[in-house]
Structure 1
Amino acid sequence: MPDYKVNFKELKARVGVTDVAYALGYRLDRKAGVGRYIELVLGDGREKRDTLIVSHPNDRASQTFFRRDGSKGDVLTLIRENMDAFLVTGKDDWQKVAKVMARFANMPEPEYNDDREYVKSVRAASAFDISRYEVKQIDMERIPRIFHQRGLSDETVRQFAPFVFLIRDRRNGNFDGYNIGFPYTDTDNQVKGYEVRGYGGYKSKAAGTDSSSAAWVADFSGGNPEAVRCVFFCESAFDAMAFHQMNRNQLHPDVALVSLGGTFSDNQITGVMNRFPNAKAFDCFDNDIAGRIYGLRMIGLLEGIPMKISKTEGYLQVEAGGKNFTVNPGKALPSQLAAHLPVHYRTGQWLPPKAFKDWNDCLLNKPVAPVLVPRKEERDRNLAERRKGNLKM
């Protein structure tokens, strides 16, 4: 990085990802919870245009961010991505970044101070404290309505009952009721947190939840993990339950279903698979680019093939084993990789039908809105009109 009489390390101690993101219009998603990470969203409701998951929310110098599509960076990356938003000039990008950083370093606390104070007040827990939460089993005679709203049958809830609980945060002064808690466990089967879901689309994680090495695991082997031959990885516990409900007649009784809670950590994958030494991992992730990147990362991990993955127009670019090639996200990943790399098929794919984003939407029969492609006649007519318009100019 060039030196422009600006100490970037010193500036990063004063200007964090959150400062730049708030100035660009991102706002804190309080429903996503505040812990080791926070989520900053650009836009709202169905108009969300981007989401940044930011680490170390109270320590500017250590802040980095990532997106669910696999992209990541620090405050300098975020500035470079949005250079057009900052009216600065310079010989190159780094000189412009230096000017933006210097400008932010001298700015007073702006209007987003309310969000910053909220994050400080929550005080991210460094470790999960089980005593903070009241946990109880679900009463099968009074199954919470939220499961029915998700299309999940009473039979499915009964099957998953050993792995799903009601949870109440004793320190939450704003809500005194119970949510649904999916316990995150480690390789010793110790509870390290909860994936939390509630009515109105509420989702969060219990304070201090270990999302880096623990995951929600529903093991149907009855305490015999060596009997498990298939482990199905999903992005949420509701997706995993929906997958099982829709495909149970095709599944062996001794299977395991896993939720990563919307994020992907290498240690989550390897830790889970270490519990099931004879099993094959299946990618059941969402039908979007982030889901396909998760699938590629899982294959790379379990096949022992380091990969660098990036997005290109309509494809994913993969660098691995000294080769550089493209992958079509709409086709099976293992067979595409096998054309270039020594793949031993330790992983498979069991994706939602292409019309649906995830398995829960499939269960609810909520297809993704179709993208209407104009017919050839319409394209030709539009092209002719544009050419006429250009001639007039």
Structure 2
Amino acid sequence: MEDLYQWIKQHIDLAQYAQQVYGYQLDKSRSSKNSKVLIHPSESHRIVVSRREQNGHFCYFNPMDEQDKGTIVDFLVYREGSWDKVVDKLSNLSDTSQAVQYPVFPEEELDPDEEQVESLSHRDFLHDRGLSDRTLDHPWFAGRILTHKRLIDDKTMVNTAFPLFGLKQPMGYELKNHGFHGYSTGSKKSRACWMSMTPPADSIYDLFLFESAIDALSYHQLHPPMEDHFRQYMSFGGQISDGQITLLQTLVDRHPPQRIFLCMDRDNSGQFYALSIAGKLQSPIKLSSILAVSHRRDNLCLLEFHLSGTFAEPFRVQAFQETIRHAQRLAAPALADRLPLYIEAPYPDYQILHSGFPINNHTLSICVRTVLASRGLKDWMILVLPQGKDFNDDLMDHMNK
């Protein structure tokens, strides 16, 4: 395994990988021959990538976060949070042919004739992920699953394309294939999502949120909807930005769903994504005076509950503090009394309750449900976990039985 890691560190260009898989953008004005400066899709931070002369390893660092640095292995560990997920990604890179075949996007702007999108004509990748033609041809997915072709060095690269939508117009394409995940030129991933067909005006519908379009299609195939009930599926492309949550809030305000289902992966990253939505999204029917912000530090999930209005009254804050302590005891009985729990009061009518939970799937799912209950959203926003790592894994397991 150590030899494999060494090979990956030396042969997988981290700058290219960060752009293709995580949507980073090259900052040409700050890059040089020896180092590449890449901007995160949310524009929240930059990383600098270079190659060590002594061992040939591609390395990086984040100028804004001294913990975010190292090789491609450290890059993945810091972003995925789950070692199992990191191992899966490294395994996808373990085939030595990938160093040659992994699609490399030129830095220059392409001629439009060199890039085109057409109706779904190549289905092998989707079939290999267990998706049936009946699912792919469902009316809800019409025009939402396409084929993307790109001419690179006289070779046509063909990938499955999932169009990304903003409020008013398409914002690019998420591209997928065997061992490959990237985006088309100019995609604005941080402000767009993949979506199935929009529900008819004034219709009653449920909204299902996923990390990937593949998971959404897999869930649809595993759990077919009733004929008279409309669903809309949405995916964030693996990571959730504030711009995507703003987009989601706008869409929900325009046409409120009957219920929202949080269908993220069963891993730490997936539950943090669910926490981001559960803590910030507002119901257009009943606004919550509680917002919850989550972030990780060391081995803790730190949850900040922002209380305003009547919820900031002392007796309510004290009762709320007891509720969170109960959740800590439920999540980690042996550690509960040592976990952070304290109140910050910047203003008389605005208080912040700080709390901490150990990071694992069990405790994070309790965090999500606690946030939904505390904000009065547990009947409107529902956490749904796959049996395996994600819903595509569930589909593949179902087909292999």
Calculate the TM-score normalised by the size of structure 2: 0.58
Counterpart check, 1:75 vs 2:108: no
Q: Residue 180 of structure 2 corresponds to which residue in structure 1?
A: 202
The alpha-carbon deviation at position 27 of structure 1 amounts to 4.7
One-letter code aligned to 1:290: S
Indicate conservation of the 8 Å contact 1:234/1:260, yes or no: yes
Q: Higher strand fraction: Structure 1 or Structure 2?
A: 2
The letter for the 2-side match of 1:153 is S
Please tell me the root mean square deviation across aligned C-alpha atoms, in Å: 4.0
Per-residue Cα deviation, 1:155-197 (whole angstroms, up to 9, x for no partner):
101112431111112x422631532111111112x22110111
What SS class does the counterpart of residue 307 from structure 1 fall into?
strand
Alignment of 1:104-119 (within 5 A): none
- Alignment-mate amino acid for residue 232 of structure 1: F
Q: 1:138 aligns with which of 116, 120, 130?
A: 120
Gaps of 5+ in 1: 1-23, 40-51, 84-114, 367-393
* CA distance 1:133–1:191, shift in 2 (3 Å): farther
Work out which of the residue numbers 148, 153, 163 in structure 2 matches 1:167: 148
Q: 1:342 aligns with which of 375, 388, 400?
A: 375
Q: In structure 2, what is the equivalent of residue 123 of structure 1? A: 107
Q: Which residue in the other structure is 2:279 paired with?
A: 300
Partners of 2:23 and 2:161 lie apart in 1 by 22
Which residue, 343, 360, 365 being the options, matches 2:397? 365
2:135 to 156, 180, 183: 156
- Whether 2:316 is the aligned partner of 1:319: answer no
Match for residue 192 of structure 1 among 144, 156, 171: 171
Shift of 1:235: 1.4
Aligned residues: 281
Partner SS state of residue 296, structure 1: helix
Task: List per-residue Cα deviations over 1:230-272 (Å, max 9, x = no partner).
Answer: 2211111111100111111468631111121112112223313
Contact 2:294–2:304 under 8 Å retained in 1: yes
Identify which range, 159-168 or 224-233, moves more after superposition.
224-233
2:386 to 345, 352, 361: 352
Residues in 2 aligned to 1:265 and 1:233: alpha-carbon distance in whole angstroms: 14
Q: Mark the CA change 1:182 to 1:306 in structure 2 (over 3 Å): closer, same or farther.
A: same
Q: What runs of 5+ residues in structure 2 fail to find an aligned partner?
A: 1-8, 48-60, 71-98, 283-287, 307-351
Report what 2:215 is aligned to.
Answer: 239
Contact 2:26 2:39 in 1 (8 A): no
Structure 2 SS opposite 1:320: strand
Aligned match of 1:310: 296
Change (3 A) 1:72 1:297: farther
Q: CA deviation at 1:64?
A: 7.1
The residue number in structure 2 matching 1:254 is 230
Kept in 1, the 8 Å contact 2:119–2:146? The answer is yes
